[in-house]
Amino acid sequence: MKHAIFITGTPCTGKTTVSEVLSDKLNCRLIKINDLALENDFVLGIDDKKGYKVIDIDALDEKVSEIISHSGELIVFEGHLSHLCSGADNVIVLRVHPDVLKSRLEGRDYSEAKIRENLEAEAMGVCTAEAYDIYGEEVSEIDVTELSVDDIVEVLSDVIDGRKSFDVGHIDYMDWLISNP
Ligand SMILES: Nc1ncnc2c1ncn2[C@@H]1O[C@H](COP(=O)(O)OP(=O)(O)OP(=O)(O)O)[C@@H](O)[C@H]1O
Ligand SMILES: [Mg+2]
């Protein structure tokens, strides 16, 4: 039996939206990693230049491991820091083409610089690379650009059940960087 599924990806790829529907469908607990970090006071400070919260990853990792080891049931963890923690049975990276991600990010009150940084991270597959570094072949990455939330949940259920696999290395948005210098 699986104990922990981590859903990660660049901001606005749909982690929270999808994980809420997924955890309802699987009838399991959902832990939002950002909330967990705030509730447990794992914020080390605010990044001077970029203005985002710097999280104590070691403390977060320890907390996540503790939760998993004390739970006999499946838990979905979602958040762009989830893949930096240990203990997942599956790490799933949601990927969204930068052109589509751009319009979602522009819907938030992010600065131009923050939008650009996130688009570059998505184009370069930063979350996937970080997750692969830690988890290797246990990582799946799925291009969800064209999929509805319900479609994504269906695909994720298949991945979790082992009916489908999405090996890393097939999604390449580097062209976007070249056309958007
Ligand atoms: N499959 C989808 N199709 C269209 N829009 C979507 C889809 N999934 C999510 N969205 C929309 O994209 C926006 C971002 O979604 P969401 O907040 O779930 O992203 P997130 O990955 O959790 O972001 P963050 O890392 O900042 O928490 C929301 O407005 C949501 O409604
Ligand atoms: Mg979210």
Q: Which residue, judged by its Cα, is nearest atom 26 of ligand 1?
A: 11
Tell me if 16 CB under 6 Å of ligand 1. yes
- Residue 56 CA to residue 30 CA, distance in Å, equals 21
At 36-62, the pLDDT tens digits run: 999 999 999 998 877 789 999 999 999
Q: What is the pLDDT at residue 48?
A: 82
Check which CATH number belongs to the domain holding 26 and give it.
Answer: 3.40.50.300
Sorting pLDDT into bands at 50, 70 and 90, what band is 73?
Answer: very high
Q: Is residue 18 part of a domain?
A: yes
- Give the count of domains, the chain: 1
Is residue 14 situated within a structural domain? yes
Pocket test for ligand 1, best of 32, 94, 104 (most atoms within 8 A of CB): 104
pLDDT at 30 over 90: yes
The reply to whether ligand 1 has any atom less than 6 angstroms from the CB of 12 is yes
Residue 1's pLDDT band (boundaries 50, 70, 90)? confident
- Phi/psi for 38 (5° steps) reads -70, -45
pTM score, whole prediction: 0.97
Confidence (pLDDT) at 38: 96
In a domain? residue 148: yes
Q: Report the C-alpha gap between 101 and 78 in whole angstroms.
A: 18
Domain of residue 141 covers 4-96+127-169
